[in-house]
Chain A
């Protein structure tokens, strides 16, 4: 069982469409991070959200942290083929030591 559940698992859309992917947990997180991973590469950090209800924008990407700090969403406006990749949410957990755990990810494919 994943502590961080991501949905959908897979998303294939046309260029120009909008989309939202979700990251949910039954646990409270002090912060959540979003990473993007492209084939053959390691994940790259996009953003960290810290405050409940926080909204952060990164060009066409909008990240939101839930009020209760148990969930987060990533909205992409007018998706482009360059947005294709695996989107991972991650958060710190202090069990057996302080570690960063990841959700299983949403694999996004944007068709030109």
Chain B
């Protein structure tokens, strides 16, 4: 158990819908990262927050947004969903910035 909690574990929805993925980092970790993993693209960095502030951005679509709350949990919002958004979404946390990452078990998103 990495100590990082992601909910829900599975999510099935339809095109055009909006979903929210939730992540609770390990106790004491200030950084939260979101990654998308698909078979053809591998593990792609989306966005990182440190102590509530956005610190780094990857290839995150404009339809996607995230935030980190004062209690350090984070949410990833995906809207106007398309079939191609189907993937595993991982949250990871670390104490600081770009240190070793602890990953959650992921949310498997299926857009039908």
| Choice from B56, B97, B98, B103 contacting A43 with Cβ under 8 Å | B103
Query: How far, in angstroms, from A48 to B94 measured CA to CA in the complex?
Result: 14
Residue of A40, A90, A92, A97 contacting most chain B CB atoms (<10 Å)? A97
| Choice from B55, B56, B58, B103 contacting A42 with Cβ under 8 Å | B103
Counting chain B residues whose Cβ lies within 8 A of the other chain, the interface size class is 20 to 34
Query: How far, in angstroms, from A53 to B98 measured CA to CA in the complex?
Result: 22
Query: How far, in angstroms, from A55 to B100 measured CA to CA in the complex?
Result: 18
| Choice from A42, A44, A100, A101 contacting B106 with Cβ under 8 Å | A42
Nearest CB of B to A14, in Å: 26
Complex interface bits, B43-73 against A, C-beta within 8 A gives 1, otherwise 0? 1110010000011111000000000000000
Contacts of A45 in B (CB 8 A): 100-102
Contacts of A44 in B (CB 8 A): 2, 103
| Choice from A97, A102, A105 contacting B56 with Cβ under 8 Å | A97
B21 contacts A by Cβ under 8 Å: no
Contacts of A100 in B (CB 8 A): 33, 45, 98, 101
Contacts of B110 in A (CB 8 A): none
B2 near A2: Cβ-Cβ < 8 Å: no
Q: Are A96 and B56 also in contact (CB < 8 A) when A42-B4, A42-B92 are? A: yes
A99 contacts B by Cβ under 8 Å: yes
Query: How far, in angstroms, from A90 to B44 measured CA to CA in the complex?
Result: 11
Q: Restricting to B8-58, which residues have a CB under 8 Å from any CB of A?
A: 33, 35, 42-45, 48, 54-58
| Choice from A33, A42, A105 contacting B104 with Cβ under 8 Å | A42
Q: Are A98 and B45 also in contact (CB < 8 A) when A40-B105, A42-B4 are? A: no
Q: Restricting to A34-48, which residues have a CB under 8 Å from any CB of B?
A: 40-45, 48
Contacts of A102 in B (CB 8 A): 35, 42-45
If A97-B48, A100-B33 are given as contacts, then 7 extra A-B residue pairs at C-beta distance below 8 Å, sorted by A number, are A42-B103, A42-B104, A43-B43, A43-B101, A88-B43, A98-B48, A100-B45
